Amino acid sequence: MRFGHFDDENREYVISTPKTPYPWINYLGSEEFFGLVSNRAGGYCFFRDAKLRRLTRYRYNNVPTDDGGRYFYVKEGDTVWNPSWGPVKTELDAYECRHGLGYSRITGAKNGLSVSVLFFVPVGKTCEVHAVTLKNESKEKKTFQLFSFIEWCLWNAEDDMTNFQRNYSTGEVEIMGGGQTIYHKTEFKERRNHYAFYHVNSAVSGYDTDRQTFLGLYNGFHEPDVVFSGKSQNSKAAGWSPVASQCLEITLGPGETKELSFVLGYVELDKSQKWESKSVINKKPATELIATLDSKAKVDAELGKLKAYWTNLLSGYSVKSSDDKLDRMVNIWNQYQCMVTFNMSRSASFFESGIGRGMGFRDSNQDLLGFVHLIPERARQRILDIAATQFEDGSAYHQYQPLTKRGNNAIGSGFNDDPLWLILGVAAYIKESGDFSILDEQVAFDNDESKSKSLLEHCKRSFDHVLHNIGPNGLPLIGRADWNDCLNLNCFSETPGESFQTTENREGRTAESIFIAGMFVSIGPMYADMVERKGDKAEAERVRSEVKKMERVVLEKGWDGDWFLRAYDFFGKKVGSKDNKEAKIFIEPQGYCVMAGIGVESGHAKKALDSVKEYLDCPYGIVLNNPAFTEYVIEYGEISTYPAGYKENAGIFCHNNPWIMIAETVIGRPERAWEYYKKICPSYLEDISDLHRTEPYVYAQMIAGKDAVKPGEAKNSWLTGTGSWNFVAISQYLLGIRPEWDGLVVQPCMTKDVAEYKVTRRARGATYEITVKNSGQARPAKLTVGGKAIEGNQVPYAPAGTTVQVLCEV
Ligand code: GLC
Ligand code: GLC
């Protein structure tokens, strides 16, 4: 069952009912000011950090779901309704929500009145615009009231929902223009140099800033007293919960339209500029910001800039094929999701509260892979920020806070895969940009400038960190966990509530990871290439010989007969082996070892992938392990805590499915790779939205696996490494166009169902127009570049500004 449709022309998903199986959301903002908005106008906004600078309130885990947002209420006669249907839930005559790139437009109509609200953050500005279009579609004159409503968050989102003894006494506002502009200035008097405001570019008949006055005692957002009585109380918040609501009296003749522009903004001031006079905040920056958005023409121009911003970004990679579902994911939604994960990491979604997790060392390096071609400069900065949280021994803080860029002590380090992801991120950046100078950048260790070394040295320490932490079988020690946060082989936790990620109750010098070994073999050579290009041949040789050695160890000690083992546990026993009772096979090492090329010639790789098909594949994707754990296994940790079929316990953890897709291309099986691609790709799941539940335009982190109560049901949409890895799989390996050190490799491994396609790829300032004639056989590509046949599958980089025609036959 569907709840809307794709509008590819406008790059929008059009939702046709507010009653989607879960709130379907979108993100506003691209640099500093961000918002989340659901198809029911739920959500919140923040400046840079969803925990430390939250502007408006949202109630996670509330009933009803999706509570708190930017609400507009219409009162015409005795009828009160919202264009977003909720919170009042009056049945509408028409409803539509269009989620586009960086904006959403929600339109509702009732009794011949149509109200449309466009939400977006103008490029380079620190505010949201809520542009309201009111249209009388009836034949009679209409007189009605429009009420706006938002609820302020007292800045620190965590404190805001815990520290009531203080917070109920701190809230302060200022009211200007009879309520036309409402300023939120809690804590401005003391140490905060910032405030927020909500403004409308039209005279108002009243306002409210005190929540209880607006709602009424014991009322919810669906029954605000002020709206139902049709009378603002001009309340001034003093402590409790400050809000901002304006009331406008509107009359529209038949066919008449009225445009309003609401601005929800954020202002930071220099300490010396904070006050206009005693207790009166300096409103100049707010007034200036408002002046840039106070007419329909200005708002339209800003929307135009936002659209141009996205058109430019997305022109870095696009495909034209006979398959719409494929094209819309590659050209629009998958890349869009990659930008969102780059901006948000794992901080703020409808499953991530914005207060829990900062930027992950491993996550951010992988997120890079999906957007580096869009804005390489921002990838460069991100890499330097991440690398500065590394320790001198090569290990790394697992997470850091985006506002401070400092490592998070509460989580600490000890995730032994972390260091290697840095090499992968750096290599992806250089291959894309050609900017080897990044390797010479001096970067701190643990944010201590006195301990700075070149980024290349950071990569060396990453590589050596593995070698300095080898276990009894010659395989890398796993530490607290590798990519799989929940495989905690040194944890041995018996205390409820104890974190599986930060607890190490046993000395971790035995448990080894075949997954990290696969990463080492796959990623190590990238460091060798970099160091060789910097002129150090001896180091490159050392690296390559260590990699060779590890490859042999994997085949000797990491092979179980029909697939790669997952690990050795604390006691030296096999994990992910047919000798085990449960979880005999895991997905991660099959993917990464084959991506590394291990066992491709000897046939181990093919065997491993056939086992994936036999034991892990199901109608909704590839599960993480099989059979699922049904009991808590203390020596394995969190993985065995989840009910069977969910999350890391045999869920379809979508992040690692593309490793198998890529692995299938490594052994030349395009149809398998394609089948796996389609299984988890959201645009192909649109028809089962009722089961899937999350948005059909973005990937979810997890889909319930075959052992679950409800296989096929997804959770944790938006913020997941799934976005970037699927983009890598489809764009670089199936469609087959990927940047290498000296040229663009064109080597498709694509289903015969897509017989011909065209890719336009920007790289290092040049544009490549690539036509692929595809037989569906995984053969070495035959390339014609600018009319001339060339040897091999690599198109040399052309000078910036040029356009290169490539014909690829495969
Ligand atoms: C989550 C984490 C990621 C981890 C994955 C598997 O998505 O953000 O770092 O690799 O789970 O446990
Ligand atoms: C929990 C989640 C896992 C996530 C981790 C990050 O263990 O199950 O998916 O990666 O937390 O802290």
Q: pLDDT over 70 for what percent of the chain?
A: 100
pLDDT at 401 over 90: no
- Indicate the residue type of 456: L
Q: What is the pLDDT of residue 199?
A: 98
| Residue 119 or 343, more confident | 119
Lookup: tokens for 488: 């905690």
| Mean pLDDT of the residues in the chain | 97
Secondary structure class of 663 (helix, strand, coil): helix
Q: With contact defined as beta carbons under 8 Å apart, do 784 and 769 qualify?
A: no
Q: With contact defined as beta carbons under 8 Å apart, do 459 and 427 qualify?
A: no
Angle at 185 between CA 181 and CA 191, to 5 degrees: 155
pLDDT at 747 over 80: yes
Q: With contact defined as beta carbons under 8 Å apart, do 112 and 142 qualify?
A: yes
Residue 285 phi, psi dihedral angles, 5° rounding: -60, -35
Q: What gap in Å lies between CA 712 and CA 23, rounded to an integer?
A: 18
Give me the residue label for tokens 């940790």.
637
Q: Is 501 a pocket residue for ligand 2 (Cβ < 6 Å)?
A: yes
pLDDT at 667 over 80: yes
Q: What is the DSSP letter of 629?
A: P
Q: Identify the band that residue 38 occupies on the pLDDT scale cut at 50, 70 and 90.
A: very high
For 201-310, strand residue ranges (E) read 206-210, 242-252, 257-268, 275-277, 280-281
Lookup: tokens for 482: 């590798």
Cα(485) to ligand 2 centroid in Å equals 6
Residue nearest to atom 8 of ligand 1 (CA): 363
Q: What is the rounded (10 degree) CA torsion for 665, 670, 671, 674?
A: 70
For ligand 2, mutation pick of 408, 491, 501 (most atoms within 8 Å of CB): 501
H/E stretch holding 461 reads helix 455-467
Q: Is 720 a pocket residue for ligand 2 (Cβ < 6 Å)?
A: no
Q: What gap in Å lies between CA 427 and CA 620, rounded to an integer?
A: 33
User: What is the average per-residue pLDDT within 543-552?
Assistant: 98
Cα(640) to ligand 1 centroid in Å equals 16
Q: What is the pLDDT of residue 411?
A: 86
DSSP characters over 516-541 = HHHHHHHHHHHHHHHHHHTT-HHHHH
pLDDT digit string, tens, across residues 93-134:
999 999 999 999 999 999 999 999 999 999 999 999 999 999
Q: Which of 485, 529, 560, 617 is catalytic?
A: 485
Q: What gap in Å lies between CA 733 and CA 746, rounded to an integer?
A: 9
Cα(240) to ligand 1 centroid in Å equals 38
pLDDT digit string, tens, across residues 259-278:
999 999 999 999 999 999 99
pLDDT at 410 over 90: no
pLDDT at 71 over 90: yes
Q: With contact defined as beta carbons under 8 Å apart, do 484 and 648 qualify?
A: yes
Q: What gap in Å lies between CA 669 and CA 660, rounded to an integer?
A: 11
- Indicate the residue type of 628: A
pLDDT digit string, tens, across residues 137-174:
999 999 999 999 999 999 999 999 999 999 999 999 99
Q: pLDDT over 90 for what percent of the chain?
A: 97
Q: Quick check: is 485 catalytic?
A: yes
For ligand 1, mutation pick of 485, 638, 718 (most atoms within 8 Å of CB): 485
Q: What is the pLDDT of residue 417?
A: 98
Give the number of whichever ligand sits closest to the CA of residue 721: 1
User: What is the average per-residue pLDDT within 674-689?
Assistant: 98
pLDDT at 359 over 90: no
Angle at 98 between CA 93 and CA 101, to 5 degrees: 170
Q: Is 638 a pocket residue for ligand 2 (Cβ < 6 Å)?
A: yes
Q: What gap in Å lies between CA 1 and CA 687, rounded to an integer?
A: 5
For ligand 1, mutation pick of 483, 491, 659, 699 (most atoms within 8 Å of CB): 483
pLDDT digit string, tens, across residues 186-226:
999 999 999 999 999 999 999 999 999 999 999 999 999 99
pTM over 0.75: yes
Q: What is the pLDDT of residue 378?
A: 94
Give me the residue label for tokens 């449309």.
116
pLDDT digit string, tens, across residues 426-444:
999 999 999 999 999 999 9
DSSP characters over 671-683 = HHHHHHHHHH-GG
Q: Is 482 a pocket residue for ligand 2 (Cβ < 6 Å)?
A: no
Q: What is the pLDDT of residue 301?
A: 98
